[in-house]
A = this chain, B = another copy of it.
Amino acid sequence: MEHTVAERQAWGLHEECGIFGIYDPAGECAQTTYYGLYALQHRGQEACGIATINHRDQSCYKDVGLVGEVFDRGTLDRLNGTLAVGHVRYATTGAGERENAQPLTINYVKGTLAVVHNGNLVGTRQLRRDFEYRGAIFHTTSDSELIAYAVAQARLRCPTVEDAVREAAAHLRGAFSLLVMSPRKLIACRDPWGFRPLCMGHKGEAVLFASESCAIRAVGGVPERELDPGEIVVVEEGRVRSIRDNCRGFSHMCIFEYIYFARPDSVIAGQSVHQARANAGRLLARRHPVEADVVVGVPDSGLDAARGYALESGLPNVMGFVKNRYIGRTFITPGQESREQAVRIKLSALHSEVAGKRVVMIDDSIVRGTTCRQIVGLLREAGATEVHVRVSAPPFIAPCYFGTDIPDREKLIACHHTEEEIRALTGADSLGYLALEDLERMAPDARCGFCTGCFTGRYPVATGE
């Protein structure tokens, strides 16, 4: 089940950010970035911004709010140019304030830079200290400012801005998919582990970068490929050049991108997200079959896996729930006494589909268990005779240091309860998680390895914490 900002804050499962960049000799870059950010809005609803270059002059507009709230036509018109980077944000590190909104725009020794960033660095405390001991001041608590510093300082030693990005990237640890825009260049950079996706494409003469391929398609472009982990791509006056010095030959894409973050119509590292979720459903059906009448997905993020479960099991996949499409940031949640009832306003079980039925209910994750218990309750109230919960991910048992804000261990139900206890707490008749050994099987087409740290506690980078 998806969650509003307020819920996510309570619930602790923070989404990461989305980034978009474009070089287009025909201009209109702000407009295109606006549409690209709309397609990435699911990756961050807290703040957004666009920076552009028009004849070497940089402009930027950013604020707290959705893309549709922050930008109007006048603002877009004033922003136009031939280079642009954009960002949608959900706070991962740093308070969710206006000053942490991106793009980060700076002046440094060689003029201006704009930086947008998706991911989370580790070891930043030391890094920050190092800078501070050389007299640096920080306006924000964001990783992006650290990255900007690293690039600016590397630039003193490097002949070009792309070299500075390369040198800085070589010394940063953690997750960073970056776009850096100078007055003449657009530079895309992915961390050597490849935690977060970053793909490129084109539309006529324009070169496009985006966190997900869906944004490139949304603006009418053609996605070409994911950047390789560690790769840097430089676009300068239409010429595209790749720098692979930081490529190390391994990759650790966040598996949760497939499970929850990405939009189903995106293709990441060659793997359709929708099909990965459907595969998870199929794998669940094989490992946790159950005698039942219907399969229902919890909208929207459980719907793909439900299709897979249904196909594999041969059970009919029915529309078990209607989701209220109008619940937004300003929704006033009911008081403490009626919290139980809040879920009713967001989700409604379809009596005609589940009454008298044994239901397999597919959701993408169980974090604390509270929401799951309420949804099971909706199905029972609508007349389901049995509710078998199948979760298209393994249990969360560890934090994420790379941009997914998994709650503290004490709030993770799977850290403190056996599967049988969780089943009982959620009121399900049976419960089945995706098996750890099935995890990578959900993405057979993916040309990458994975980070599965939140499910295993093992990370590809020392987290130092």
Q: Which residues of A contact B (CB under 8 A)?
A: 31, 34-35, 38-39, 41-42, 45, 66-69, 71-73, 76, 98, 104-109, 113, 128-129, 132-139, 141, 145, 148-149, 152-153, 155-156, 214, 217-220, 263-265, 267, 272, 274-275, 300, 303-304, 307, 311, 316-319, 322, 324-332, 334, 338, 341, 344-345, 348-353
Contact among B45, B156, B219, B330 with A69 in the assembled complex (CB-CB below 8 Å): B330
Name the residue of chain B whose CB is nearest to the CB of A221: B344
Q: Which residues of B contact A267 (CB under 8 A)?
A: 351-352
| CB <8 Å contact, A351 and B272 | yes
| Given known A218-B344, A274-B353, contact A152–B137 (CB-CB < 8 A) | yes
| CB <8 Å contact, B319 and A264 | yes
Name the residue of chain B whose CB is nearest to the CB of A70: B330
User: What is the minimal beta-carbon distance from A100 to any residue of chain B, in angstroms?
Assistant: 12
A133-B156, A134-B134 known, 5 other contacts, Cβ within 8 Å: A39-B324, A67-B326, A135-B136, A135-B152, A217-B344
| CB <8 Å contact, A316 and B327 | no
Q: Rank and list the top 8 A-B pairs by shortest CB-CB distance, nearest first.
A: A135-B153, A272-B352, A109-B132, A265-B322, A106-B137, A107-B138, A68-B330, A41-B326
Q: Which residues of B contact A135 (CB under 8 A)?
A: 108-109, 134, 136, 149, 152-153, 155-156
User: What is the minimal beta-carbon distance from A37 to any residue of chain B, in angstroms?
Assistant: 10
Q: Which residues of B contact A348 (CB under 8 A)?
A: 39, 214, 217-218, 263, 265
Q: Which residues of B contact A316 (CB under 8 A)?
A: 311
| CB <8 Å contact, A275 and B352 | yes
- Give complex CA distance A316, B316 in Å: 10
| CB <8 Å contact, A326 and B68 | yes
Contact among B141, B263, B272 with A107 in the assembled complex (CB-CB below 8 Å): B141
Q: Which residues of B contact A156 (CB under 8 A)?
A: 133-135
User: Which of A136, A219, A311, A318 has the most chain B CB atoms inside 10 A of its CB?
Assistant: A136
- Give complex CA distance A139, B42 in Å: 28
| CB <8 Å contact, B332 and A307 | no
